[in-house]
Structure 1
Amino acid sequence: MIGLSTLFGIAALLAGVSAGNPFFIVQHGTATFTTRVDPIINPGTISTHVHTVVGSSSFRNEYTYENNRAGKCTTANVIEDKSNYWAPQLYRKHDNGTFELVRMNRVNTSGPDEEVHEFPEGFKMLAGSSKRSTYDDNDYTNKAISYTCLDYSGPGKPDTHGFPEYSCPQDLRANLFFPNCWDGVNNWLEGSKHVSYPASGGHDSGGPCPATHPKRLMSLFYEFHFTDNYEYTLGARVWANGDDVGYSAHGDFTNGWPTGLFPKVFEAGSSCDVGFSIEDCPVLEPIFTHSGGGTCSPDNPSVIIDEEVGESGLLTALPGNNPLWSINGAPAASNSTATSSSSSAPGASSTSQTSAAPTSSGPSAIVNPIGAIQSPAPVSSSSVSVIGDVHLSPAPTQDASAGHCKAKKRRLAAQF
């Protein structure tokens, strides 16, 4: 087991073909960026809230595939993984009103399937919504976001869709399952409408893609681990956007993998079902560092917004002056034009106080959730296909009732 103090992130990609479902994990070192930048939702401007980013060192506030690929280094232990993976930063609110940055210590991401397509050049997508303040059990975009409370001292607790109401001494794990059906045309549509969850069967297993999004992508699954060994206090966990209930967890992905790599992995089938042992996959071994992910400095440090985000001490306000909004729901308008007052609290480390530049993005650039795509069009019989659940075993089994080959489920061990 890799020490939590040295491992920041893990990116795992699961992809499958009829002959097998290769599953491997890419380890990442320390975060490349922790700042208010989001090239998907707020391209070219300052984001409304802080994100922590791993992957390519060339991350900036406007995404292009060529820029990602040009990164001088990556936090990944597979040198060709120049994608960027990010999520909101988690904070802990103290009784005196100050905020403490909560360390993210590692991440898992994964994905499955039948005829599966690699991520095309320039592809980007979202999971979850930074403005969601309610939960609908019938909506896959809601169900795809959950939390696992890791506590090895007793029986396991069920996953929740808001922050769990107890402490998680072996980590709070935020789980995000990305849409895995694609329209086959667009690399991006506003609100991530170029991708969709399956039409039925669940957000992460057994369902056909809708006719509007007929092509299956490799599924991408994030597990963000946060240190949570605190005495439980209601409302103490706060996402950087001000949500202290937890429904607004979300993740972003910009593709930086080289074209043509994953088809080779698919062809290798179960020989690349290697978990952490990437050296055992003949396709990945030549680009494996034979160590865990490392430290990777930003190619352009000026991309990081000049403000304190909590790495040097307690904050008197969330960066961007984001208010807590659990009682009344998400703010109706963006507060991205607010002057930052996220200075250190009295008695904490000295920090600088800066003003955030106004952004040109209005609320519509932030409010668009991928929930808008969750009422898929009827599926024609010719487009019906079945996939396995996240964390698949290499040997598929026949689903007699559906008449399709459906892979067995396999959960990652809790310590992952």
Structure 2
Amino acid sequence: MKSVLLGLAASLAAPVRSTFVVQCYSRLFDQRADPVISPGVASGHVHTISGGNGFNFSMTYEDARASQCSTCNIKQDLSNYWSPKMYFHAQNGSFLDVPIIGDNDGGNMGGMAIYYLTRGGPNNDKLKAFPPGFRMVAGDSSKRSETDDFAGRAVTHKCVGGSGEDTKHLPNEKCDQIRVQVTFPACWDGKNLDSEDHRSHVSYPAEGNFDGGACPSSHPVHLVTLFYEVYYDTQGFKDMWYGDKQPFVFANGDATGYGYHGDFVNGWDIDKLQEGLDTCVDGVENCAEQVFGEFNSQTETQACKLPAMIDEQVTGALEALPGCNPVTEGPEPASPAQNCAAPKLMAVATPEMAGYVDVTSKGYKYIGCGKDNAGDRTLGEELLTGDDMTVPKCIDFCKGKGKQYAGLEYSGQCYCGSSVAADRAPVQGSTGNCLMKCSGDANQVCGGADAISLYEACSGGACTNAAKRMSRRLAGLERTNAGL
């Protein structure tokens, strides 16, 4: 239900003269990753990352276009969008992660809405699609004081369930949700796909409005205006306030809100985006449906997940913000993060490993997390349920029935069948939505909501090779995490 609220809230809050919206109903993961600012290494603070599952720590346009799925709804858009994670700074000094509207106990189901605003300024400039390899950042992570320039106006916060006012700082009142918004520069120098500070190749307008004025001569190419909107679910913390200041802080240590920021890496089908910008002018209804056609369903976007690429806790109760970011309240800019933990990246982390249980000795191999539907089961030939369900128990049951496939769902349900339809099979490069622990063994995964952990019968060399391949990957992870 909450994930539906994300889309509803986004539509109700649509800025004036918006055109089409990329709805990211979910996110890939929460991770200290930022291939724009910190390519190839763990970044200084945790981000919530949405978009195509080609995302990696040193990604390229080709990586983005190679995505097999996306947490966002427009199929032709395989871009990545991210912004800082929010935490509650408790009175005892610990930090609790704040969910995004749509999250549940099973995983990262909440995402963000990205508005593509076709605002050509006073001269009605023709808008150019983002070129391949284009990337940019809006906002300044180190900022801790209010400014009234266009960049300062581009970041705002709204207290939903409170005053409802837009403020540049985090609201100092109890809110049901805090809606955070960041508007990106839409004027480009026409030459550089990126810049040393990841901002100089783009610019806010020279005059007029920060999201619709005339471009300066130094940045004459007018792009579409990106507008991120994220709803942080703060209602559950209302009874935990203390002192005379609001208790929330972003992952970069920012307790003011002035340092909120967003990153964008282009992964669009360029021609299709250009068609959208040319067609979706203000006042055209149902434009996105006309231009982009078929969309990823909410279920499909929520099944697109990546495994953790850093062995580090970023949710739950934490003694310190990951990356050792001290909480700062300004007005002086924050110093660069110490990044004292500096964890190594998991060199062999793969989606196939999420939920993996080795049952090759029983003649079955794990093939990944597939899709299911209560009205039309992926595996509907045999069923076993119980509060003591484990992967081996399900395998034994389906093997006894002579079935090629075994699948587990909702912690305690085991299904068997002879085939898996192509549209139900695991998506390459995605962990899927198999996030529920088995009712009989909390160390094993038994599917999820409309998500089924799938095992396929194997024999001889196929089983042996599957076991060896996974053993090598797990051994590689252990070596990486041990720092060897």
Q: Same fold (TM over 0.5)?
A: yes
Contact 1:88 1:239 in 2 (8 A): yes
Q: Contact conserved, 1:24 with 1:273, CA < 8 A, in 2?
A: no
Q: Higher helix fraction: Structure 1 or Structure 2?
A: 2
2:291 is paired with a residue whose SS is coil
Contact 2:69–2:301 (8 Å) recurs in 1: no
Secondary structure of the 1:26 match is strand
Q: Which position in structure 1 is the counterpart of 2:290?
A: 282
Residue 200 of structure 2 corresponds to which residue in structure 1? 193
1:159 Cα deviation from its structure 2 partner: 0.9
Work out whether 1:214 is the aligned partner of 2:220. yes
1:85 lines up with 2:81 in the alignment = yes
Among residues 92, 104, 113, which one is paired with 1:108 in the alignment?
A: 113
Highest Rg: 1 or 2?
A: 2
Number of aligned residue pairs = 323
Q: Does 1:173 align with 2:184?
A: no
2:2 is matched with 4
String of CA shifts for 1:88-133, please: whole Å, max 9, x gaps: 0000011111111001224222222331000110000011011001
1:306 to 304, 311, 324: 311
Query: Which of 130, 149, 172 is the equivalent residue of 1:119?
Result: 130
In structure 2, what residue type is equivalent to 1:26? V
Q: Distance in 2 between matches of 1:96 and 1:121?
A: 47
TM-superposition CA deviations, 1:374-410 (whole Å, max 9, x none)? xxxxxxxxxxxxxxxxxxxxxxxxxxxxxxxxxxxxx
CA distance in 2 between partners of 1:271 and 1:76 (Å): 23
Residue of 52, 59, 63 corresponding to 2:59:
63
Deviations 1:235-284 (A, max 9, x none): 41010011111110000000001120122223434599446x84xx3221
Q: Which residue of 1 aligns with 2:27?
A: 31
> Could you give the per-residue CA deviations for residues 153-212 of structure 1, whole angstroms, max 9, x where no partner exists?
x7x53211111111121x10111000000001111011121000000112123x210000
Please give the alpha-carbon distance, in whole angstroms, between the structure 2 residues aligned to 1:331 and 1:136: 15
Alpha-carbon deviation of 1:58? 1.4
In 1, the alpha carbon distance for the partners of 2:481 and 2:151 equals: 31
> Cα deviation per residue 1:266-306 (whole Å; 9 max; x = unaligned)?
3434599446x84xx32211x3235566224456x36x211
- 2:342 paired with 1:335: no
Trace 1:132-281 onto structure 2 (pairs within 5 A).
132-137=143-148, 139-151=149-161, 156-169=163-176, 171-191=177-197, 192-205=199-212, 207-229=213-235, 230-231=237-238, 233=242, 234-270=245-281, 273-274=284-285, 278=288, 281=289
The aligned residue for residue 48 of structure 1 is 44
Q: Which has the higher contact order (CA 8 A, sep 6+)?
A: 1
Indicate the larger mover: 315-324 or 36-45.
Answer: 315-324
User: Aligned partners of 1:11 and 1:337: how far apart in 2?
Assistant: 37
5+ residue gaps, structure 1, are 13-20, 341-354, 359-416
Which sections of structure 2, spanning at least 5 residues, go unmatched?
12-16, 102-110, 344-479
Distance 2:338 2:183 in 1: 28
Hey, what's the Cα distance between the residues in 1 that align with 2:165 and 2:68? 42
CA shift for structure 1 position 228: 1.6
Bigger mean CA deviation after superposition, 216-225 or 329-338 = 329-338
C-alpha distance 339-149 of structure 1, shift in aligned 2 (>3 A): same
Which stretch of the first structure deviates more once superposed, 91-100 or 23-32? 23-32
**Alpha carbons of 1:40 and 1:242: their partners in 2 closer, same or farther (altered >3 Å)?**
same
CA contact under 8 A between 1:39 and 1:63: conserved in structure 2? yes
Counterpart of 2:273 in 1: which secondary structure?
Answer: helix
> What amino acid maps onto 1:201 in structure 2?
G
Equivalent-residue separation in structure 2 for 1:117 and 1:27 (angstroms): 21
Q: 1:57 deviation in Å?
A: 0.6
Q: Alignment partner of 2:63: what SS? A: helix
- % identity of equivalent residues: 36
Given that 2:127 and 2:278 are in contact with CA atoms closer than 8 Å, whether structure 1 keeps it comes out as: no
Which residue, out of 324, 327, 336, partners 2:327? 324
Distance in 2 between residues matched to 1:357 and 1:266, nearest whole Å: 49
The answer to whether the Cα contact below 8 Å between 1:172 and 1:225 also exists between their aligned partners in 2 is: yes
More displaced 10-residue stretch of structure 1: 329-338 or 80-89: 329-338
Secondary structure of 1:109's aligned partner: strand
Tell me the secondary structure at the aligned position of residue 116 of structure 1.
Answer: coil
Q: Aligned match of 2:92 in 90, 96, 103?
A: 96
* Residue equivalent to 1:346: none
Q: Tell me by how many angstroms 1:320 deviates.
A: 1.3
Aligned 8 A contact 1:7 1:29 in 2: no
Q: Is the contact between residue 272 and residue 282 of structure 1 (CA under 8 Å) also seen in structure 2?
A: no
Offset of residue 35 of structure 1: 0.4
Contact 1:75-1:294 within 8 A present in 2 as well: yes
1:243 touches 1:324 (CA, 8 Å); kept in 2?
yes
Q: Which amino acid in 2 is paired with 1:35?
A: Q
- Matching residue's letter, 1:323: P
Judged with a 3 Å threshold, the aligned counterparts in structure 2 of structure 1 residues 211 and 271 are, in CA distance, closer, same or farther, namely: closer
- Say whether the 8 Å CA contact 2:254–2:329 is kept in structure 1: yes
Is contact 2:192-2:201 (8 Å) kept?
yes
What root-mean-square deviation, in Å, do the aligned CA atoms of Structure 1 and Structure 2 show? 3.0
Report the TM-score when normalising by structure 2. 0.61
